[in-house]
Amino acid sequence: MSQYEHILVAVDESPISYAAVEHALELARAFKSKVTLLSVIAIDPFIAVDFYKVAPAITEHFIKAEEQALLRLNDLKSSFERDGIDVSVKVVHGVSPSEGILKTVETDSVSLVMMGSHGRTGLQKMVLGSVAQNVLNASVVPVFIVKQ
């Protein structure tokens, strides 16, 4: 049995998350790991303030965001399937990206998290936070971070 039996790959629309997917593909081949490709659709904290005034627009946003995430994940899924890797896709919404990743680690028996880091610093990091840092600090399994 492999040390990295189940790899969770956090995917967003950024190029760095696609680099993490490439690393996951290599590791999954080497360790014969199962892979879950995950996208988290979070509620924008700035929109949530007036949620009831803009609820229909937010609902439409979530529907479109989930459709786009599933298209992206299913496209990436085919790369793993071509190599005979057991792969699934998952979309989580209504929580922050780090919460979605950490919850999936718990519920899906993940043994390794792979994700990209945007490398935010200073004010950007203070305002937006660092998903990679939050996951790294709270994860009970190893976290492989691909840097820009």
CATH of the domain at 40: 3.40.50.620
* Residue 65 counted as domain residue: yes
Cα distances from 60 to residues 47, 54, 56, 63, 123, in angstroms, run: 13, 10, 6, 5, 31
Q: What is the pLDDT of residue 62?
A: 75
pLDDT band of residue 123 (cuts 50, 70, 90) is low
* Residue 1 counted as domain residue: no
* Residue 118 counted as domain residue: yes
130 SS3 class: coil
Written as one string, the DSSP assignment of 99-116 is HHHHHHHHHTT-SEEEEE
* Residue 68 counted as domain residue: yes
Say if residue 133's pLDDT is above 50. yes
Domains identified in the chain, total number = 1
The sheet with strand 87-93 has its strands ordered as: 87-93, 34-41, 6-10, 112-117, 143-147
* Residue 115 counted as domain residue: yes
Task: Tell if the pTM clears 0.75, that is, is over it.
Answer: yes
* Residue 125 counted as domain residue: yes
* Residue 127 counted as domain residue: yes
Reading the block at residue 100, the tokens are: 């979605």
CA distance 120 to 135: 15
* Range name among 8-12, 122-126, 127-131 with the lowest pLDDT average: 122-126
* Residue 129 counted as domain residue: yes
Range of the domain at 16: 6-147
Q: What is the pLDDT of residue 55?
A: 61
Phi and psi dihedrals of 141, rounded to 5? -120, 165
For residue 44, the 8-state DSSP code is P
**pLDDT per position as a tens digit, 58-108:** 677 778 888 999 999 999 999 999 999 999 999 998 899 999 999 999 999
CA distance 30 to 67: 31
CA distance 80 to 84: 7
